[in-house]
């Protein structure tokens, strides 16, 4: 049976190359789906473009020999000006099933997946200044963030 949390993955000794490879693929899929959702929610005047790729090469990947992977970032532009940047921050973070970092001006937000491994994502958002109060990331939260 697959480990259900990052904590389990990091404290169990039977992690396989196949498991880690599936997790990386799953993370790439989830971030892609997240970007697609965000693009669909963009109000008038906003556009999206894929930004520079970041390299995913986390400890568990190096440990079992899974190669590094390029993951795209996403810029959100308002009237042609880039105002928001989304970047996959990390998959293996104890307490979450992956984090995407969202930067808008000087404000930093954490997009957190609270789902168990290989389950459908359960995205939440927390301002970096108020991490204890994460909220489900839905269209209302997204609209409010863009309008702020």
Residue numbers at the binding site for other proteins (CB under 8 A): 1, 4-8, 10-11, 58-60, 90, 92-96, 99, 103, 106, 108, 112, 114, 116, 126, 128-129, 131-132, 134
Nearer to other proteins, 9 or 38 (CB): 9
Residue whose CB is less far from other proteins, 10 or 43:
10
Residue 103 to residues 39, 55, 61, 121: CA-CA distances in angstroms? 16, 18, 26, 21
125 neighbors 137 (Cβ within 8 angstroms):
yes
Minimum separation from the CB atom of position 1 to other proteins (A): 7
Q: Measuring CA to CA, which residue among 91, 78, 145, 141 is closest to residue 118?
A: 91
Strands ordered across the beta sheet of 107-113: 46-56, 69-78, 81-90, 99-104, 107-113, 123-127, 135-136
Closer residue to other proteins (CB): 43 or 136: 136
> Closest distance between other proteins and the C-beta of residue 40, in Å?
27
Rounded to a whole number of angstroms, the minimum distance from the CB of residue 17 to other proteins is 18
**Minimum distance between the CB of residue 44 and other proteins, rounded to whole angstroms?**
29
Residue 96 and residue 89: Cα distance in Å, rounded?
Answer: 12
Q: How many other C-beta atoms lie within 10 A of the C-beta of residue 58?
A: 18
Cβ closer to other proteins: 40 or 105? Answer: 105
Residue (124 or 139) nearer to other proteins, CB: 124
Min separation Cβ 37 and other proteins, Å: 22
């Amino acid at each position: 049976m697959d480990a259900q949390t990052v904590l389990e993955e990091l404290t169990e000794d039977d992690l396989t190359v196949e498991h880690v490879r599936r997790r990386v693929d799953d993370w790439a899929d989830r971030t892609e789906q997240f970007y697609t959702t965000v693009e669909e929610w963009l109000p008038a005047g906003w556009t999206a473009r894929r930004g520079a790729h970041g390299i995913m090469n986390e400890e568990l990947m190096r440990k079992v020999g899974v190669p590094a992977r390029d993951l795209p970032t996403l810029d959100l532009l308002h009237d042609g000006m880039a105002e928001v940047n989304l970047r996959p921050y990390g998959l293996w973070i104890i307490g979450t099933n992956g984090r995407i970092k969202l930067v808008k001006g000087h404000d930093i937000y954490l997009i957190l997946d609270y789902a168990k491994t290989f389950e459908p994502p359960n995205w939440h958002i927390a301002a970096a200044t108020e991490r204890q109060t994460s909220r489900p990331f839905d269209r209302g939260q997204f609209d409010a963030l863009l309008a702020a």
